[in-house]
Chains A and B, each alone.
Chain A
Amino acid sequence: MTELIERAAAPDPRGETVELSMQQAINRALRVLLAEDPKVLVFGEDVGALGGVFRVTDGLQKEFGAQRVFDTPLAESAIMGMAVGLAMNGLRPVPELQFDGFAYPAIDQIVNQVARMNYRTRGAAPMPITLRLPSFGGIQAPEHHGESLEALFAHTPGLKVVAPSDPGEAYGLLLQSVRSDDPVVYMEPKARYWDRRPVRLSEPTDPIGTSRIVRPGRHATLVAWGAMVHQCVRVAELAAEDGVELEVLDLRWLKPIDAAGLVASVSRTKRAVVVHEAPLTAGLGAEVATLITDGCFRELAAPVQRVTGFDVPYPAGPLESQYLPTIDRVLLAVQRTLEY
Chain B
Amino acid sequence: MPPRESTGQDSITVEHLSPELTRRLYRDMRTARDLDTEAIALQRQGVFPAYVSVRGQEAAQVGGATALDPTRDFVFPTYREMAAALAYGVEMVGYMATHRALWHGGLYDVMDARFGAINAVVGGPVPHAVGWAIGERLRGGEGVAMAYFGDGASSEGDVHEAMNFAGVFTAPVIFFCQNNQWALSVPNHRQVAGGSIAARAQGYGIEGVLVDGNDVGAVHTATAKAVQRAREGGGPTVIEALTYRVEPHSTSDDSARYRDEEEAARWRERDPLTLLRAALVEAGHADEVDLDRIDAESAERAERIRDGVAEAPEPHGSELFTHVFRETTEELTRQHRTWQEEVEL
Residue contact B133 to A81, C-beta cutoff 8 Å: no
Contact with A along B105-120 (1 / 0, CB 8 A): 1010111100011000
Residue contact A121 to B110, C-beta cutoff 8 Å: yes
> B103 in the interface, Cβ–Cβ < 8 Å?
yes
> A187 in the interface, Cβ–Cβ < 8 Å?
no
A117: chain B residues within 8 A (beta carbon): 117
Residue contact B131 to A81, C-beta cutoff 8 Å: yes
Residue contact B331 to A85, C-beta cutoff 8 Å: no
- Number of A residues with CB within 8 Å of any CB on chain B: 48
Residue contact B330 to A122, C-beta cutoff 8 Å: no
Residue contact A126 to B138, C-beta cutoff 8 Å: no
From residue 126 to 142 of chain A, which have CB atoms closer than 8 A to chain B? 126
Greatest chain A CB density within 10 A among B135, B136, B162, B319 is at B135
Residue of A nearest to B129 (CB): A85
A77 to B116, CA, bound (A): 19
How would you classify the secondary structure of chain B's contact residues: helix, strand, loop or mixed? helix
A256 with B110, Cβ < 8 A, contacts A81-B130, A120-B117, A122-B323 known? no
A85 with B128, Cβ < 8 A, contacts A73-B164, A119-B323 known? yes
A75: chain B residues within 8 A (beta carbon): 161, 164-165
> B252 in the interface, Cβ–Cβ < 8 Å?
no
Residue contact A109 to B117, C-beta cutoff 8 Å: no
A75 to B159, CA, bound (A): 11
> A180 in the interface, Cβ–Cβ < 8 Å?
yes
B319: chain A residues within 8 A (beta carbon): 122
> B124 in the interface, Cβ–Cβ < 8 Å?
yes
Residue contact A259 to B331, C-beta cutoff 8 Å: yes
A112 to B114, CA, bound (A): 20
| Minimum CB–CB distance for B267 against chain A, Å | 33
Greatest chain B CB density within 10 A among A85, A181, A255 is at A85
A78: chain B residues within 8 A (beta carbon): 127, 130, 158, 161-162, 164-165
Residue contact A73 to B327, C-beta cutoff 8 Å: no
| Minimum CB–CB distance for A76 against chain B, Å | 9
Residue of A nearest to B162 (CB): A78
A67: chain B residues within 8 A (beta carbon): 138
Residue contact A82 to B168, C-beta cutoff 8 Å: no
Residue of B nearest to A122 (CB): B323
| Minimum CB–CB distance for A175 against chain B, Å | 15
The 8 Å CB contact of B329, one of A73, A80, A209, is A209
| Minimum CB–CB distance for A165 against chain B, Å | 21
Residue contact B135 to A125, C-beta cutoff 8 Å: no
B168: chain A residues within 8 A (beta carbon): 72-73
Residue of B nearest to A260 (CB): B330
A89 to B327, CA, bound (A): 21
Residue contact B127 to A124, C-beta cutoff 8 Å: no
A246 to B130, CA, bound (A): 52
A73 to B65, CA, bound (A): 30
Residue of B nearest to A78 (CB): B161
Residue contact B145 to A121, C-beta cutoff 8 Å: no
> B313 in the interface, Cβ–Cβ < 8 Å?
no
Residue contact A113 to B330, C-beta cutoff 8 Å: no
Residue contact A122 to B103, C-beta cutoff 8 Å: yes
| Minimum CB–CB distance for B207 against chain A, Å | 19
| Minimum CB–CB distance for B236 against chain A, Å | 13
A109 with B127, Cβ < 8 A, contacts A73-B164, A85-B145 known? yes
> B149 in the interface, Cβ–Cβ < 8 Å?
no
Contact with A along B129-168 (1 / 0, CB 8 A): 1111111101100000100000000000110011011001
> A11 in the interface, Cβ–Cβ < 8 Å?
no
A88: chain B residues within 8 A (beta carbon): 74, 110-111, 116, 128, 131-132, 135
Known: A85-B145, A256-B330. 4 other contacts (CB 8 A): A78-B161, A85-B76, A89-B132, A122-B103
On B, residues with C-beta under 8 Å from A are 74, 76, 103-105, 107, 109-112, 116-117, 121, 124-136, 138-139, 145, 157-158, 161-162, 164-165, 168, 319, 322-327, 329-332
Offer 12 A-B interface pairs, CB within 8 angstroms, sorted by A. A73-B164, A73-B165, A77-B127, A78-B127, A78-B130, A85-B76, A85-B133, A88-B74, A113-B121, A118-B323, A121-B111, A256-B329
On A, residues with C-beta under 8 Å from B are 41, 67-68, 72-73, 75, 77-78, 80-91, 93, 108-109, 112-113, 117-126, 157-158, 160, 180-182, 208-209, 255-257, 259-260
8 closest A-B pairs (Cβ-Cβ)? A85-B131, A81-B127, A89-B135, A82-B131, A78-B161, A120-B105, A85-B132, A256-B329
